[in-house]
Structure 1
Amino acid sequence: MPVAEPRYRDLMSRELLLWALISLASKAPVAMTPLALVFLSRESPGGYTLGAGLASAYVLGEVVGAPVLGTRLAHGRMRQQLSAGLMVGALAFGTLPLVRSAPSPVLIALAFLAGAAPAACPGGMRSALTRSVADNMVPRALSAEATLTQIIWAAAPGLVVLLALQVHPGAPLMLGALLAATASLLLFRLPEPQASEPAKNATAPTTRTLLSGWPVYLTSAAAMAMLATAELVLPALLEDRHISVSWSGPLLAGFALASAVGAFCYGLRTWPGSVRAQSLVLLTVTVGCVCLITLLPGLAGIAAGLLLAGVFQSGVMVTRNLSLRERLPEHAHAAAYSVMYAVQGVGYSLTASLSAVVLDLATPSAAILGGVAITLLITAVSAIAERGAASRPAAEPPTLADADHGP
């Protein structure tokens, strides 16, 4: 008798619904904060310049905090560590509106702390999710996580603007503080994630173990950077085509919703081929869709390219998570997810700086195509590296124990 295909309905347990609630409460502040910091500062003497600086400090905090705190999760007591990080982050979120007239260094330090303290949470929560379901349900669980994430990212900008303009400039950050504190407390109702591998192998991951996943990190950063180019250059592209830049918001919201739909569809069935091959196919298709943004005329052409790119991009991120899970031993998953989160942040930040430079030298379309070319080059390097390592897990112990005995 054939085995029934796993369904999303199989994820509807009390534990996983609680996980979804905690994930929602912990991800929403991350999605809201950069724009919320801009609105917090727009009427201050520092204006938008200070707001951009605070947003940069927040992202830098995430980039630094994710790998540093993520590597500690393998030592156990994951709930306590994640809860403490979220509570410190909540305090930083809540303090910023109260001291908005403080000197810039104080505000920058608080923004950095707000980003750094809970930065291990995305990786830790993803590791807890995959440990809570059977192996054949992991792709659907990660697809559900990606769907939830994209819905949050689609709703966050509108919510920030509404609260900042209609309630108070600090209201979005206060809401973020409340949500982070709620997630911190709810974490203690979630069972402590238990690793399935033997205790003797569940040692703390070394730097060499984590770095062995570099091809996956690299491709993830490349995919994020390519789409960051499209997002950041979008206002200039609209203006270049004599389209109102006010369409930027609806177009990016549509992109996020399309990504949610794509992630949901990916988890509906089991797809042929390895997750490595699926990732390369999906990334190539996404690159083609981003190219359409520069080739199709008018607002409808830009919208079509972005929506299609969103649908396939979410599949890239899900398959990258699955590839990382296959490549590294279980005790390193939480730390590796955190490292990948940090690398994606670096990719986004570098792309933001590079896009600003390129726009001074070329047209918006050329800037997007340049980002696409760089993405394809990085993807080729990563694919060659992954192909060379593809046969290792079959020939060597799956725990990669040799990686823990570096010189």
Structure 2
Amino acid sequence: MTYRDVASKQVLTWTCVAIGARMPVAMAPLALVFLVRERPGGYPLGAALAAAYVIGEILGAPVLGMRMNPRRARPHLAAGLALGAVGFAGLGAFPGGPPVLLAAFAFLAGAAPAAASGGLRALLTSLVPGHAAAQALSVESMLTSGIWAVSPAAVTGLALGVAPGLPLLLAAALMASSVAGLWLLPEGWQAQERTGGTSGLRVLAGAWPVYVTGAAGLSLLALAELVLPALLEQRGIGVGWSGPLLLGMSATAGVGAFLYGLRTWPGRLATRSVLLLCGMAAALTAVALIPAGPGIAAGLAVAGLLQSGAMLTRNLSLREALPPEALAAAYSVMYAAVGAGYAATGSLAGALLTWTAPSTAILAGVGLTLTLTGVGWWGEIRKAGPVARRGEGEVGSASDRDRVPTVPKS
């Protein structure tokens, strides 16, 4: 099995569609902060808009994802992406609008296309031979890392160098282009029947500790993205450095994903996840306490290096905890759960910024993350059994090679 099996015209087309659909998602949080930064109470308002966006994702992902018809997914995906483009366009066109209007546009931009990520992932695996699914998912993971590396710098340059609303107008144009590209791809894909009804919900709920620790991981990303501009101002550093610093964090996340897959790692997945999340928390604590720019850059780089491994352990745990027919719905639930962690931490940080220093807001968010990590670890330890523990110490086992996960936002 080689990457030649995924080198096809259709996969290239899928890549272009995925960039158009996913880059707006990566751009949105920081773009919303810069959109209103210069207004009175700008940073708290930006955090609130980002929270409204993520709440839209939280509600849209499970509801829309579980209703998607795999064999006729194109109309569902196109409608969601088109409405998402409308939401982004509204934000970019009315940067001085009332906060309620901006929050409504942000909610629409987050909710409408929330099921696209999982739908596009399933579509990608249908475009390649079955034995090349691992390579296809690896390509998706590398693409996602590249998007998240480029997006912060693009948002910062456009918002500060041209106009605050331009990044959101670009996001609208990219998402609209992905709608057109869908008609160059198959209408849907073959899939097993979903686990449905009350029993299906019970199966999905059984993996709740994995969702909680997934939420903990993305809550740290919220701290880095939403509070970083205010922290740089507090330190007397130009906010224009936000983009390069987050670019470095995303780049080290790609390196971390590569290093994690090079070898097998000892210990249970739950234990590895806790260690990686605690390492991320320590790195962001250093970011909050170190006054100099190089120290902040180093802390963010370490956090990025550990983040990809933490998310990989969560995806591996999810695949071990649930039967194959429940995984499609589980990805939507996981997407919503990590979005909830992002929104909770972003809202907490935004509220604290109104009366305390950005560094203190980061420390409070780290405390929330550690609490979520502890709850998730406790739940996994309680629910661990012979099936859950089987093979956890072998990242490179045959079963894992056939089920390589991606490192999503979600």
Determine if the TM-score, normalized by the shorter chain, exceeds 0.5: yes
Decide which of 297, 307, 316 is 1:313's aligned counterpart. Answer: 307
Alignment of 1:190-339 (within 5 A): 190-195=185-190, 197=192, 201-202=193-194, 204=196, 206-229=200-223, 244=237, 246=239, 247-266=241-260, 271-272=263-264, 277-278=268-269, 280-281=271-272, 283-288=274-279, 290-292=281-283, 294=285, 299-339=293-333
Decide which of 142, 157, 163 is 1:162's aligned counterpart. Answer: 157
Is the contact made by 2:64 and 2:114 (CA closer than 8 Å) also made in structure 1? yes
The secondary structure found in structure 2 opposite 1:77 is helix
Provide the C-alpha distance between the structure 2 equivalents of 1:390 and 1:155, rounded to a whole number of angstroms: 40
Provide the C-alpha distance between the structure 2 equivalents of 1:79 and 1:357, rounded to a whole number of angstroms: 42
Provide the C-alpha distance between the structure 1 equivalents of 2:286 and 2:45, rounded to a whole number of angstroms: 36
The secondary structure found in structure 2 opposite 1:30 is helix
- Residue by residue over 1:309-329, the C-alpha shift from the partner in whole angstroms, topping out at 9 and shown as x without a partner, is 312321322342343344434
How many residues are matched?
382
Q: Which residue of the partner structure matches residue 56 of structure 1?
A: 51
Matched, 1:14 2:9: yes
Is the contact made by 1:229 and 1:367 (CA closer than 8 Å) also made in structure 2? no
CA drift at 1:349: 1.7
Structure with greater Cα Rg: 1
Provide the C-alpha distance between the structure 2 equivalents of 1:100 and 1:238, rounded to a whole number of angstroms: 23
The secondary structure found in structure 2 opposite 1:390 is helix
Provide the C-alpha distance between the structure 2 equivalents of 1:37 and 1:364, rounded to a whole number of angstroms: 19
Matched, 1:73 2:68: yes
Alignment of 1:36-185 (within 5 A): 36-42=31-37, 50-74=45-69, 76-100=71-95, 102-133=97-128, 137-185=132-180
CA drift at 1:63: 1.5
Q: Which residue of the partner structure matches residue 397 of structure 2?
A: none
The RMSD of aligned alpha carbons is 3.8
Decide which of 381, 384, 387 is 2:378's aligned counterpart. Answer: 381
CA drift at 1:222: 1.7
Provide the C-alpha distance between the structure 2 equivalents of 1:236 and 1:174, rounded to a whole number of angstroms: 24
CA drift at 1:389: 7.2
CA drift at 1:81: 0.7
Provide the C-alpha distance between the structure 2 equivalents of 1:316 and 1:213, rounded to a whole number of angstroms: 16
Cα distance change on mapping 1:306 and 1:391 into 2, 3 Å: closer
List gaps (5 residues or longer) in structure 2: 392-410
Provide the C-alpha distance between the structure 1 equivalents of 2:233 and 2:45, rounded to a whole number of angstroms: 25
Provide the C-alpha distance between the structure 2 equivalents of 1:292 and 1:43, rounded to a whole number of angstroms: 29
Read off the aligned partner of 2:77 and give its amino acid letter: L
Is the contact made by 1:147 and 1:259 (CA closer than 8 Å) also made in structure 2? no
Question: Normalising by the residue count of structure 2, what TM-score does the alignment of the two structures yield?
Answer: 0.77
Q: Which residue of the partner structure matches residue 349 of structure 1?
A: 343
> Which sits farther off after the overlay, 310-319 or 48-57?
48-57
- Residue by residue over 1:263-297, the C-alpha shift from the partner in whole angstroms, topping out at 9 and shown as x without a partner, is 34445x5x4379x9356425514523542554696
Provide the C-alpha distance between the structure 2 equivalents of 1:230 and 1:326, rounded to a whole number of angstroms: 30
List gaps (5 residues or longer) in structure 1: 1-5, 395-407
CA drift at 1:155: 1.8
CA drift at 1:170: 3.0
Matched, 1:25 2:20: yes
CA drift at 1:156: 1.6
- Residue by residue over 1:200-220, the C-alpha shift from the partner in whole angstroms, topping out at 9 and shown as x without a partner, is x44646422332332221221
Provide the C-alpha distance between the structure 2 equivalents of 1:133 and 1:382, rounded to a whole number of angstroms: 37
Is the contact made by 1:237 and 1:364 (CA closer than 8 Å) also made in structure 2? no
CA drift at 1:45: 7.9
CA drift at 1:178: 1.4
Cα distance change on mapping 1:309 and 1:93 into 2, 3 Å: closer
- Residue by residue over 1:110-130, the C-alpha shift from the partner in whole angstroms, topping out at 9 and shown as x without a partner, is 222121111111122223334
> Which sits farther off after the overlay, 132-141 or 52-61?
132-141
Task: Report percent identity of matched pairs.
Answer: 47
The secondary structure found in structure 2 opposite 1:272 is coil
Cα distance change on mapping 1:291 and 1:163 into 2, 3 Å: closer
CA drift at 1:227: 4.5
Provide the C-alpha distance between the structure 2 equivalents of 1:166 and 1:245, rounded to a whole number of angstroms: 13
- Residue by residue over 1:337-368, the C-alpha shift from the partner in whole angstroms, topping out at 9 and shown as x without a partner, is 12211111111121234445599599578547
Is the contact made by 2:207 and 2:322 (CA closer than 8 Å) also made in structure 1? yes
Provide the C-alpha distance between the structure 2 equivalents of 1:377 and 1:46, rounded to a whole number of angstroms: 34
Is the contact made by 2:13 and 2:185 (CA closer than 8 Å) also made in structure 1? yes
Provide the C-alpha distance between the structure 2 equivalents of 1:119 and 1:346, rounded to a whole number of angstroms: 13
Cα distance change on mapping 1:189 and 1:330 into 2, 3 Å: farther
Cα distance change on mapping 1:193 and 1:325 into 2, 3 Å: farther
The secondary structure found in structure 1 opposite 2:336 is helix
Q: Which residue of the partner structure matches residue 405 of structure 1?
A: none
Is the contact made by 1:66 and 1:342 (CA closer than 8 Å) also made in structure 2? yes
